Structure 1
Amino acid sequence: MGEQQLFLLPDEPLQPVIARVVLDSRVPQLSQIFDYRVPENLRDRVRVGQRVKIPLRRAQRNFGWIVELVENSTYQGQLASISDLVSDVVLLDKQVWELAQAVADRSAGSPSDVLRLAIPKRHAAAEKAYFEEKQGCDAGEQVVSGVHAETEIVDPPEAGLTAALGSEITTQQEKDLLTENTASGVRNNQTVLPEYGASNLAEQLIAGNKINFVANFGVTQLSTGNWVSHWALQLVHTAALVLAQQRSTIICVPDYRDITELHDALIALQLGEHTVRIDAKQSERKRYTAHLRTLESEPCIIIGNRSAIYAPAHKLAAIIVWDEADPLFNEPHAPYMHTRDAAILRAQLTGCGLLIAGHVNSAVTQRFIDNGFYLSQDGAPRRPRIWHADAAVAEDSFAGRIPGAAVALIQEHAKQGPVLVQVSKPGSVRVAACTMCNMQASCFECRGPLGVKSYRGALQCLWCVAQAMPWRCAQCHGDRVFFTSGGSSYTAEQFAQQFAGTKIIVSDGQTPVLRVGTEPAIVVATPNAEPIAAGGYRAVVLLDVWNMLNIPRLRVAEDCLRWWHNAVAKLAPDGVCLVASGAGPIVDAFITGNVAGYLRRELSARAELLYPPMVRVASAVGDFQALATAREVLANIPETYVIGPHELPGNSWQLIVRFSYRSGAQVAAALRALLIELAVGSTVATRLNPRPKPRVRLRLKFDDSSVFDEVQQEVFAEY
């Protein structure tokens, strides 16, 4: 067996007879554990956590994961035998398997769906190269994979830990990140920690506490010369202190830009050898190699996007989720579990600490703070100057989109360094709004935004392309429009004419830019695509506030607050932010910094309407008869409110279920049982069965707040 002898675990039972296997199948009725006999030729190699080939019915090439080895089976029939091992490597960690079961139970899903997210596709060449290298480095030392050893590591990792502890930190700002903290206290019957430094954060996480942390604004220069956001360096310092205690940390961030910042900070602290990067942009080879590294019995710092929450980690002490309200944390694949919710489940299962951090809290986080679930921070973080353009300023050549105060601010500060202008969307499309009430003009057919796609184009719907003239506002009945958003490219073209000779940089999803220098420039960027400027931006202009506020989404307020705070966080210490348009409680909360007060009022209103996060919600999409049956099944569960079925485009139907957190387990179990029952009752056409029972379609999605967006309001009005 060569190098694969490295994976034998001495604490496993010798000569196991029965393997309990969870099938890797998307078929609901097969989402259970089956017993298989272990053939004699595999009994000295088989281990819990290995991927195996198994027969099922007539098919001989099915796959599954061994989750338990036992001596006897409760099954009375004749057991089939495992066909072969896919690999001797133990890829499924016990903690990951427990998490997969918990996630499946909460979301009415299948553990095998979670395992597909957690464990990357096997790459045989990467596996061979990885362990050949390990053999050369460890010279016969046993490598335990999949089930982490419980013995202490005698020699702690040395590289970079002295820097992480502060002895080689080169700037006073980095020292402040590490050491600033004060004693804990109590406010409003909640345990609070006035201001977190890295030492304080690490101590609380190792103790197993759940913490909310609102980061200070600003950027920091590393010893390598690179600039990163203030939050990235502080989280890395925290993870380094946890690592110094021989414990692992998982840091989940929304996208590759954030991962790059964390990676740069870890390299600057000489912690690259103790870092594992799990990135959606990685090749299959690198992703599989990273998974093998996380299986080692050595603490590490794991950084990555939403799938990193499922990574194995030796002696996990801390889970950190940065900017948890970012929609990129919404898992698009079954069972659709949000990274934040998976992190909470894992913290509860393992007893590790949990840190939910960002520049601003979401309504979900505010609810947890008010309930005492999170330790909260006392006092607001340091904020730059934020002011609002006077609405009375006469409109200039930008047709009302940019007030004169914003033009003057850009002209003044663009001479000193980079200025950031945040716009609502990429491209050159211009979006229309009513001149009387400022509401975004919408299509009467599909409710999509109205606008023009060229300089002399006619007003039309940007979704269904229907012509929109004549048009009349549904709110104030006005019949004239102005253009509130021209997209990043259109805005850049206007700036090139207005500020001749000034460098114009566009950063959006189509043309991303990660960093800019200190030279004078106007950076036009969409939300979440703002580059980091060396030393910070001299000024930030939030241009399309009205347009952002008019997005028809339940959580538009939280999205706007997060977009604006993340942009302002990239300011220089003496920089200034100008809100170019918009008004109302959301804008007031941003300018004054009283976000917590606004979120509490929002939560109170949602409680009256039975909207998330005050209740949980699930949606079921499928055939009318299946949804009617689901409605009957849910009728007897307390604190459960069912809406529908109502028809959707494409000849399908939707059922919406609102339920209390106490009833969540019952609702999930009932819907999962129905899904399996419907799947068992349907068949497909075969040569022996040319007239099958019709296949019943039913898709379940839990904690999906999109069903409460504007397109659904007419549905809720009926109930």
Structure 2
Amino acid sequence: MARVLVDSPLPQLDQLLDYRVPDRLAPSAVPGVRVRVPLRSGGRIAQGWIVELADRSEFRGELSEVEGVVGDVPLLTPELWRLARAAADRAAGNASDILRLAIPARYVRAEKAWLADPGDPGPLPERPAPFAQYEPGRLERGLAGGERMALIADARPVRLASGTWVGVWAATLATAAAHVLADDRSAVLAVPDYRDQEQLQAALAEVVDPRRILRTDARQTGQERYRAFLDSTGDAARVVVGNRSTVYAPAARLGLIAVYDDGDPLHAEPLAPGVHARDAALIRQEQSDAALVFLGHSRSVEVQRLVGLGWVHEVPLRRGIRPRIVLTEQQPAAASGGARIPSTAWRDAQEAVAQGPVLVQVARPGHTPMLVCDRCREPARCTACGGAIVVSRAGGGPACTLCGTSAAGWSCPVCESTALRAAVVGASRTAEELGRAFPRSRVVVSDGDRPILRVGPEPQLVVATRGAEPVADGGYRAVLLLDGERMLLRESLRVAEDCLRWWSDAAALAAPGAPVHLVGVGGALGTALATWSQPGWAAGELETRRALRFPPAVRMASVSSSPERLARALERIGAIDGVDVLGPVPAEEGLERAIVRFGYGAGAEVAAALKAEAIRAATERRRPVAGRRPGRPPTLRVRMDDPDLP
């Protein structure tokens, strides 16, 4: 008898169902394989996973038979099942949704090739040199002892033996992976996107045999990703590198889990049940006793909370390079042609561009994406639909980005002024201004539509949107961080934390001693960047949120449903100690949404209660109305730790 988890988004099917294994399938129906099983409703056939085999079932009726086995390789390892189950329970979701993210689609040709020749993983590396930036032996002891550690990365680029320039953070993670791999243990390294992955893979190639390195990312073909997953299920120790779903990758004798820049929103999973890579890594570390490393140039408030509790141990830099930050909040702008750059930053850029590349970070791509009132700086909104009013590069005057309505005759609802001005000048417009101001310099634009990974050491101006800054050979001779005050206008609880992270990552691309100008931002946030004391700022931010009962001092969940169903759900969870409810407020399609706020100690109880309400809503049957077709039962949508909450 097989206990099967059916691959279904229905919450009522998020349990192990018993099926009889026919004699013809007994040799291949082993735990971990994908199978086809019947569902009694409508005679459908669904896929699922054999989690375990048992001698008897508690069900007293006749069991249905397993229809067939899909594939010859057990893909669902016991470790992956425990991780998926625990992560789904914490998020009030389905384990099958997590397994759908963790296990790639099957490719028969790749599977047969792997079974015929699993390949030679190559030799284990020699133990690499000690970590020079931290206390001697500190990281080595933490890696060997399965410790949870938070590190601030050395903020400078470094040249590898191959001639490739990468951030020191990549070399640090590669060295940590080589340390555990030398002990025949695996490492799982999660980074936000392919730009970071390229740097990390280049650093790993210096200390680890390339046959021991496995990629898992969306740029691979389906067959390549499936083959990498098959390789990771083997007995050889590997280094698995990829994005947020990499934290679920199977790995023999796991010795290290590392998450770089965990505050980056790309680590937040948008698909249900929405488990953040940081949370999945924490769960997996606790289950496996592997070492866990959070590394970045800035620190998220979530990790700072864990440091404050003593759950994660801070490992300070000993000999790190700190960027030379210059705050230009009170400095006057340059003369005409200065592209809103203060005079000191303008002079440094002029001197630096004669020696090498200069980075100019801007808030947004495009030409002039946003307009505001010239008098009171109220964002200009369309009177027809409320969309943002912008100026198109093609001309034609200001118009709405959503409905295209012209802004002719617009007046400010606050001060009644009719004059508009650009609030944020995009990368293209900035490149044009700098091109006129530096007629003899090459101007390069890097944004989401035109990403550039690397630039050479020759003189040039690189205008990049936040997060799209290329790595420069030898580092940038100067860095200008523009639009700081405009970045802080975004309506989000995390706007200051995000800005500090964006600026810190860009400053870390500067050559040692090169000036980094933060334009228009001062106060505690500017001081934190200038003194390179991001953990101290995160600690202060955490205390502010704790006083206001905002995440991550507490946890929050968003719950959406029809008014009647939502009221019943809130009534049931309201009895749990430490729970308070904000709302409900109207949402889309006649639904209402409420925010449930609770402490970490009540998390398991709240998640279980919300999951029970979701099952009750999904299985509820409405009494049919004469003359009408029966409607769908009211759904209840739950998102624990919703990143979209303001």
Q: Return the TM-score normalized by structure 1.
A: 0.85
Distance across 1 between alignment mates of 2:631 and 2:517 = 63
Q: Which amino acid aligns with 1:507?
A: S
Distance across 1 between alignment mates of 2:46 and 2:376 = 61
Name the counterpart of 1:260: 198
Distance apart, 1:445 and its partner CA: 7.7
Distance across 1 between alignment mates of 2:572 and 2:392 = 49
Name the counterpart of 2:432: 493
Preserved CA contact (<8 Å) 2:166 2:203:
yes
Give deviations 1:672-709, integer Å, cap 9, x for gaps. 11111111114899xxx9843533122111101422x2
Preserved CA contact (<8 Å) 2:337 2:434:
no
Distance apart, 1:348 and its partner CA: 0.9
Preserved CA contact (<8 Å) 1:682 1:693:
no
Preserved CA contact (<8 Å) 2:331 2:343:
no
Q: Secondary structure at the match of 1:536?
A: coil
Q: Secondary structure at the match of 1:29?
A: helix
Preserved CA contact (<8 Å) 2:89 2:608:
yes
Distance apart, 1:97 and its partner CA: 0.1
Distance apart, 1:252 and its partner CA: 0.3
Relative distance call for 1:659 and 1:509 in structure 2 (3 A) is same
Name the counterpart of 1:74: 58
Q: Which runs of 5+ in 2 are unaligned?
A: none
Q: Secondary structure at the match of 1:519?
A: coil
Preserved CA contact (<8 Å) 2:152 2:316:
no
Match of 1:36 among 8, 14, 19: 19
1:358 aligns with 2:341: no
Q: Which amino acid aligns with 1:234?
A: T
Distance across 1 between alignment mates of 2:340 and 2:396 = 19
Name the counterpart of 1:63: 47
Relative distance call for 1:235 and 1:437 in structure 2 (3 A) is farther
Q: Return the TM-score normalized by structure 2.
A: 0.94
Q: Which amino acid aligns with 1:418?
A: P
Preserved CA contact (<8 Å) 2:378 2:412:
no
Name the counterpart of 1:119: 103
1:243-642 aligned at under 5 Å gives the runs 243-378=181-316, 381-389=320-328, 391-394=330-333, 396-398=335-337, 401-433=340-372, 449-454=388-393, 458-462=397-401, 467=407, 470-472=410-412, 474=414, 481-642=420-581
Relative distance call for 1:414 and 1:469 in structure 2 (3 A) is farther
Match of 1:241 among 176, 179, 204: 179
Q: Which amino acid aligns with 1:248?
A: S
Worse-superposed segment, 22-31 or 57-66: 57-66
Preserved CA contact (<8 Å) 1:617 1:705:
no
Name the counterpart of 1:96: 80
Worse-superposed segment, 450-459 or 570-579: 450-459
Distance apart, 1:226 and its partner CA: 1.1
Distance across 1 between alignment mates of 2:338 and 2:378 = 16
Relative distance call for 1:202 and 1:320 in structure 2 (3 A) is farther
1:21 aligns with 2:4: yes
1:4-15 aligned at under 5 Å gives the runs none
Distance across 2 between alignment mates of 1:37 and 1:28 = 23
Distance across 2 between alignment mates of 1:438 and 1:399 = 22
Distance across 1 between alignment mates of 2:632 and 2:117 = 54
Name the counterpart of 2:92: 108
Distance apart, 1:453 and its partner CA: 2.3
Q: Secondary structure at the match of 1:706?
A: coil
Preserved CA contact (<8 Å) 2:361 2:482:
yes
Q: Which amino acid aligns with 2:82?
A: E
Relative distance call for 1:620 and 1:493 in structure 2 (3 A) is same
Distance apart, 1:641 and its partner CA: 0.9
Q: Which amino acid aligns with 2:14?
A: S
Relative distance call for 1:473 and 1:525 in structure 2 (3 A) is farther
1:158 aligns with 2:123: yes
Preserved CA contact (<8 Å) 1:440 1:547:
no
Give deviations 1:71-129, integer Å, cap 9, x for gaps. 11111000111111101210001000000110111010011111101111100011111
Relative distance call for 1:270 and 1:68 in structure 2 (3 A) is closer
Match of 1:696 among 634, 641, 646: 634
Distance apart, 1:546 and its partner CA: 1.1
Distance across 1 between alignment mates of 2:581 and 2:383 = 29
Give deviations 1:217-263, integer Å, cap 9, x for gaps. 11111111111111101110110011001111100000011111111
Q: Secondary structure at the match of 2:322?
A: coil
Distance across 2 between alignment mates of 1:126 and 1:640 = 50
Q: Which amino acid aligns with 1:56?
A: L
Q: Which amino acid aligns with 1:327?
A: P
Distance across 1 between alignment mates of 2:333 and 2:197 = 43
Percent pairwise identity: 40
Name the counterpart of 1:190: none
Distance across 2 between alignment mates of 1:458 and 1:346 = 54
Q: Which amino acid aligns with 2:25?
A: L
Distance across 2 between alignment mates of 1:337 and 1:179 = 32
Name the counterpart of 1:128: 112
Relative distance call for 1:693 and 1:450 in structure 2 (3 A) is closer
Match of 1:201 among 127, 133, 139: 139
Preserved CA contact (<8 Å) 2:122 2:209:
no
Q: Secondary structure at the match of 1:574?
A: coil
Distance apart, 1:398 and its partner CA: 4.9
Kindly report the root-mean-square deviation, in angstroms, between the aligned alpha carbons of the 2 structures: 2.5
Preserved CA contact (<8 Å) 1:682 1:692:
no
Name the counterpart of 1:147: none
**How many residues end up aligned between the 2 structures?**
641
